[in-house]
């Protein structure tokens, strides 16, 4: 099991996007891949299918899926959404990141 927090603001925004894009019922997939200026990047996408090699949990109708290879790097992750003058969009807070780039989308573990 992996502990990932999706804040109420992020949860609401994900549901809005799912509805707007006609993707109701799809899962929010969180993952890590190589790349970025710090070595690893976060990924978020919507997915209809599960491979069977992932960890899934549900919160108030939103299914969140994390593949097993990304799970150790995402343990304790917090996904937030902010809308403001200085910063807008999804924000990732990862207690496992040893360093992050200035954009917040790349990290090293």
Which residue ranges make up each domain of the chain? 4-108
**pTM for the complete prediction?**
0.81
**Average pLDDT along the chain:** 84
pLDDT at 109: 67
When the candidates are 3.50.40.10, 3.40.50.300, 3.40.309.10, 2.60.300.12, the CATH number that belongs to 4-108 is 2.60.300.12
How does pLDDT run across 28-69, given as a tens digit for each residue?
A: 999 988 776 667 888 899 988 677 778 888 877 889 999 888
Longest C-alpha distance within the chain, in Å? 41
């Amino acid at each position: 099991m992996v502990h990932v927090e999706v804040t109420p603001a992020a949860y609401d925004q994900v549901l809005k996007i799912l509805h707007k894009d006609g993707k109701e019922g799809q899962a929010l997939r969180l993952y890590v891949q190589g790349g970025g200026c710090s070595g690893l990047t976060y990924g978020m996408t919507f997915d209809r299918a599960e491979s069977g090699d992932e960890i899934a949990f549900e919160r108030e109708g939103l299914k969140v899926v994390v593949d097993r290879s990304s799970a150790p790097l995402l343990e304790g992750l917090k996904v937030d959404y902010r809308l403001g003058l200085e910063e807008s969009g999804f924000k990732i807070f990862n207690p496992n990141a040893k360093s992050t780039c200035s954009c917040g989308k790349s990290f090293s573990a």
